[in-house]
Structure formats: structure tokens, C-alpha cells
Amino acid sequence: MHAFLRDMLQCPVCAGELRWDIAEREDDRIEQADIRCVRCGASYFVREGIGVFLPPDLPRNDLWEQTSTALGRYLHEHPDVEQRLMAAPPETLSPADRFYRALALEERGDFAQARAVADSALALLYTPEYRACHESQKRWVIDRVRDRPGPIVDLASGRGDLVERMARELRRPVVATDFSLRILRRNRRALEVAGIPEHVSLLALDARRTPFRDGAVSTLTTNLGLPNIEKPGELLAELRRVVSGEFLAITHFYPSDDEANLGVLREFGVAPLLVRESLVELLARAGWRVEIANAQTGRALPTPASELLEGARIDALPVAATVLEWCTVRAW
Ligand SMILES: C[S@@+](CC[C@H](N)C(=O)[O-])C[C@H]1O[C@@H](n2cnc3c(N)ncnc32)[C@H](O)[C@@H]1O
């Protein structure tokens, strides 16, 4: 993580000052450190360059950890499936299985092959309209943040699709954040292979209770973070607290009468964030001014299931065909 982040951080439990015991630095980066809150005594750390600021008292549903563990276990217990998944020509695999092959290749450290297989899978997993709408939002956000001051903090960065694009095109500090340490470790290796590790900081944090000081973040982005943050609680108020400039959230909305999908979204506790009117109202209630920018609609279908791995599917939603409204929510 970049050393300048120290000035932006506080204890995510009690907002106390942090005491840093730095064991290893490399240029402008901190590689190893032990960190303690001087007020409540909670401890955090930096290992292999990844800062870990997860509040110990907030339960997390880390799907990357679960998927990687389950995939590894399944392939270990079913060597015949592993053989077919890893040895068959990729073009003979279903789109979902290609993606699982990419995940397994990454676990083995083969990022170059994994990327080619993952790209070919993503081109088939989503409708052309879905991909075009999504791409248009990423382009819009990158152009918007180009001249903004300060580091860009990205929320719920996942595999870092947007982070990598911003770092590569803008060549300035981008902070990738996620509550999954597993995906951040994967990102560290992927960024090294991509040749752009020096622009990106990796922070493990929970978006619902971040370690950022009040107003410390001048530009916050997220690429489909909002649909993925379960039980968001006071998420929007927490983001209001930390952002002094602009929040740019790439997202999509479900039609308000799309009961098949909204029923599942309610189970995950994210339905209010995924309907246009309710998100705008929730943002306003949390103190944000809001503009819905670059809106466009595109048909979306449930992602196809795996043919080799029993019951596996890449995305939980949509569960039924729908038309999504894509946009970038600009809030300030
Ligand atoms: C699927 S990704 C979205 C795509 C990603 N932003 C990209 O550009 O590739 C969503 C991420 O949200 C993370 N996430 C879910 N809840 C979170 C929370 N409360 N705090 C931080 N990250 C969270 C998940 O671990 C997952 O990696």
C-alpha cells in the first residue's frame, strides 16, 4: 500500500488514531506493518503490501473465499472433472466452465493463460447489450476521473476490472478495496503480471464501516459494488462521511415490477439499492446530491450454469430475463 494512505486512515471500530509500527518499506510503499488503535486497542496489519483494516465485529459473507475453497475441494475430490476442466480445449467448454478454469489457473499461478480463458468466457456469459452498456459506464467513469485531484479510491473492487483500467490509462494512484483478503491477494499477483503494481494500493476493508477519516476521499468509484454489498445498513451514510468530492457508482437498476428478480434481491437485502427511485431517495436521505448519468437500457439473461461442476453458476442474478437500466450514479 502507498505510504500516503496513512494520513487518510483511522480505526474502523472507534475512529481512534492509529499507531504504526512499520517493519518493511519499499520506496513509497509499506510492505509489512503492525498497527494498533491508540483508543480502543484494536489491531490491524499490512502483509505482503496489503493493508488489512477489517472491523472484527462485523460479520462478512466472503463469496470469493467460499468459491475458491469449494472449487479447490471439488476438483480435488473429482479428479475426472479436474482433468476435463483443465485439459479440454477451452473452446469446447461451456462459458461458466471456462470461467472456473480461469479461476483454477489463477490458483496455480498461471495468470497469463487465465486471462485469455476468462476473457473468452465473459464474452459468452453476458448478452452483447449487457457488455456494451457496462463498457460504456466504465469509459464514462474513466473519462470523468481523469482530471480529478488526489488518489482514486475504488470500493468493492473484486477482481479489479475497473481498477486495472484506471491504473493503466491514468497512471496515477488507485486504491482497490474489498472485504475479501483472498481476492486482494489474487489482485496483487495479477497486477504484477500486468506490469502495473506500482499504481495500485490494496486495502482490505468493509464498505459499511471503512477506516477512512472524515472527508479523506476526494474521488470514490465503484464498478457494480452497490449490487454486491449485502446487508448494506448505513452504507450510504458511511460513504457520505468519508467522501469530500464525488462518488461515481457504476450500477444497474431492475424494473420496479420485476418481481422474479426483486424477490431474490430482497433476500440478499439489496433490493432498495437496485431500484432507481429507492436508491435516489436513500442517497438523498444520507445527505447526497444525485445525478443519474449516462443511462441506457440493455437486455440481461441469467448466466448459464456450469456443465461440469454440479450446481455452480457465475452470477446469482438475474434469475429471470429482464431489461436493466445501466447508469453511473454521480453523487456529491
Ligand atoms: C463482483 S465485485 C464487482 C466488480 C468489481 N468491482 C470489478 O471492477 O471487477 C463485488 C465485490 O464486492 C465485494 N464486497 C461485498 N460486500 C462488501 C463489503 N461490505 N465491503 C467491501 N467489499 C464487499 C465482494 O467481495 C466482491 O469482490
pLDDT per residue as tens digits for the range 205-253:
999 999 999 999 999 999 999 989 998 989 999 999 999 999 999 999 9
Q: How far apart are the first and last CA of the chain?
A: 26
Q: Are 256 and 324 in contact (CB under 8 A)?
A: no
Kindly give the distance from the C-alpha atom of residue 232 to the centroid of ligand 1, in angstroms, as a whole number: 12
Indicate if the pLDDT at residue 22 is higher than 90: yes
CA separation for the pair 241, 210 (Å, rounded): 10
**Which residue is associated with the grid cell 506500482?**
198
CA separation for the pair 218, 31 (Å, rounded): 25
CA separation for the pair 80, 72 (Å, rounded): 14
Question: According to the model, what pLDDT value does residue 170 have?
Answer: 95
Nearest CA to ligand 1 atom 14: 156
Cell of 13: 471500530
Kindly give the distance from the C-alpha atom of residue 225 to the centroid of ligand 1, in angstroms, as a whole number: 5
For residue 52, name the pLDDT band (cuts at 50, 70, 90): very high
Nearest CA to ligand 1 atom 25: 180
Indicate if the pLDDT at residue 43 is higher than 90: yes
For residue 280, name the pLDDT band (cuts at 50, 70, 90): very high
Bridge partners (DSSP) listed for residue 43: 36
For residue 203, name the pLDDT band (cuts at 50, 70, 90): very high
pLDDT tens column, 151-165 = 999 999 999 999 999
Q: What is the mean pLDDT of residues 48-56?
A: 97
For residue 62, name the pLDDT band (cuts at 50, 70, 90): very high
Domain covering 128-156+207-331 in this structure, CATH number: 3.40.50.150
- Where does residue 58 rank: exposed (0-12), middle (13-18), buried (19+ CB within 10 A)? middle
* CB neighbour burial string for 25-50, b if at least 16 within 10 angstroms, e if fewer: eeeebbbebebbbeeeebebbbbebb
Nearest CA to ligand 1 atom 16: 229
CA separation for the pair 88, 305 (Å, rounded): 18
Parse the chain into domains and list their residue ranges.
Answer: 3-52, 63-125, 128-156+207-331
Q: Which of 119, 179, 270 to mutate to test the pocket of ligand 1 (most atoms within 8 A of CB)?
A: 179
Kindly give the distance from the C-alpha atom of residue 178 to the centroid of ligand 1, in angstroms, as a whole number: 6
Nearest CA to ligand 1 atom 12: 156
3-class SS string, the chain: CEHHHHHHECCCCCCCCEEEEEEEEECCEEEEEEEEECCCCCEEEEECCEEECCCCCCCCCCHHHHHHHHHHHHHHHCHHHHHHHHHCCHHHCCHHHHHHHHHHHHHCCCHHHHHHHHHHHHHHHCCHHHHHHHHHHHHHHHHHHCCCCCCEEEECCCCCHHHHHHHHHHCCCEEEEECCHHHHHHHHHHHHHHCCHHHEEEEECECCECCECCCCEEEEEEECCHHHCCCCCCHHHHHHHHEEEEEEEEEEECCCCCHHHHHHHHHCCCHHHHCHHHHHHHHHHCCCCEEEEEEEEEEECCCCECCCCCCCECCCCCCCCEEEEEEEEEEC
Q: Which residues line ligand 1 (CB under 6 A)?
A: 64, 156-162, 178-180, 183, 206-208, 223-225, 228-229
pLDDT tens column, 191-200 = 999 999 899 9
Kindly give the distance from the C-alpha atom of residue 156 to the centroid of ligand 1, in angstroms, as a whole number: 3
Indicate if the pLDDT at residue 82 is higher than 90: yes
Q: Which of 65, 175, 228 to mutate to test the pocket of ligand 1 (most atoms within 8 A of CB)?
A: 228
Kindly give the distance from the C-alpha atom of residue 90 to the centroid of ligand 1, in angstroms, as a whole number: 27
Indicate if the pLDDT at residue 311 is higher than 90: no
pLDDT tens column, 115-166 = 999 999 999 999 999 999 999 999 999 999 999 989 999 999 999 999 999 9
Domain covering 3-52 in this structure, CATH number: 2.20.25
Question: According to the model, what pLDDT value does residue 42 have?
Answer: 97
Indicate the average pLDDT of the chain.
96
> Quick one: which of 60, 59, 10, 5 has its CA closest to 36?
10
Indicate if the pLDDT at residue 257 is higher than 90: yes
